[in-house]
Amino acid sequence: KFNVTRAALSRAVEKGDIEKLQRGLYGYIGREESEMHSFAEVSVRAKKGVICLLSALSYHNLTTQAPFQIWLSIKKNDRAPNIEYPSIKIVRTRDVTDLGVISTQVDGIPILVTDVERTIVDCFKFRNKIGIDVAIEALTEAKRANRLEQGKLWEYVKHYRMTNVMMPYMEIINYNG
């Protein structure tokens, strides 16, 4: 991307100007890394992967849990990226559509992450993997923080066929909220 030769990178590593983080990924020594830097590292290696579920909840500050893995959504038949660090948890889906996926930057590196509404719908969709309590907490916190766009949420609920699953929880939260 920056037209830097391998030899130039090797010399810079030897001189101590930069460090090799992993294959194809280098960083300045002494750089300040954000809390979300691991998302950037994964996104560099998995260009089509979308940060989702617990990791997306963490990105949007909608959970009290700190995921110890990066949750990454890829298409069902795509090859899983070979990433040693940080640890990743692959979620395979039939359609990794652009619906509810936002492109943003972390430490200057583009990443794909599900938006708040899609993240909540995915939490209910994959409730057996992450736990229904996490999904309910996310929905409750998003509603409390006034971060939900009801129209967008209903669009995703219908698109991903989660109406029957989510309706009781949404009614309770709207009643209590």
Q: What is the 3-state secondary structure (H, E, C) of 78-139?
A: CCCCCCCCCCEEEEEECCCCCCCEEEEEECCEEEEEECHHHHHHHHHHCHHHHCHHHHHHHH
Tell me which residue range forms the domain holding 11.
1-31
Same domain, 26 and 45: no
Out of 5-9, 95-99, 121-125, 173-177, give the one with best mean pLDDT.
Answer: 121-125
What is d(CA 88, CA 131) in angstroms, rounded to the nearest whole number?
18
Of all helices (H) and strands (E), which one includes residue 51? strand 50-51
Among all chains, which residue has been given the structure tokens 């993997």?
129
Verify that 8 and 52 share a domain, yes or no. no
Give the per-residue pLDDT at 174: 75
Asked if residue 39 and residue 24 are part of one domain, the reply reads no
Distances (CA, A) of 72 to 27, 28, 32, 147: 23, 26, 24, 23
Residues 78 and 115 in one domain: yes
Q: pLDDT for 61-108, tens place per residue?
A: 998 887 889 999 998 888 888 888 788 999 998 865 789 999 999 878
Q: Which amino acid is located at 163 in the chain?
A: T
Does residue 14 sit in the same domain as residue 91? no
| Residue 25 shares a structural domain with residue 68 | no
If one compares 91 and 21, the residue with the highest pLDDT of the two is: 91
Residues 39 and 10 in one domain: no
Across the chain, mean pLDDT equals 87
Q: Does 166 lie in the same domain as 105?
A: yes
CA distances in angstroms from 30 to 19, 22, 27, 86, 175, listed in the order given: 10, 17, 9, 19, 50
Same structural domain for residues 88 and 159? yes
Write the single-letter amino acid at 42.
Answer: V
Same domain, 118 and 141: yes
Q: 110: cis peptide before it, omega within 30°? A: no
13 and 43 co-located in one domain: no
Alpha carbon distance 105, 45 (integer Å): 15
Mean pLDDT, range 21-31, rounded to an integer: 68
Query: Are 104 and 150 in the same domain?
Result: yes
Q: How many domains does the chain have?
A: 2
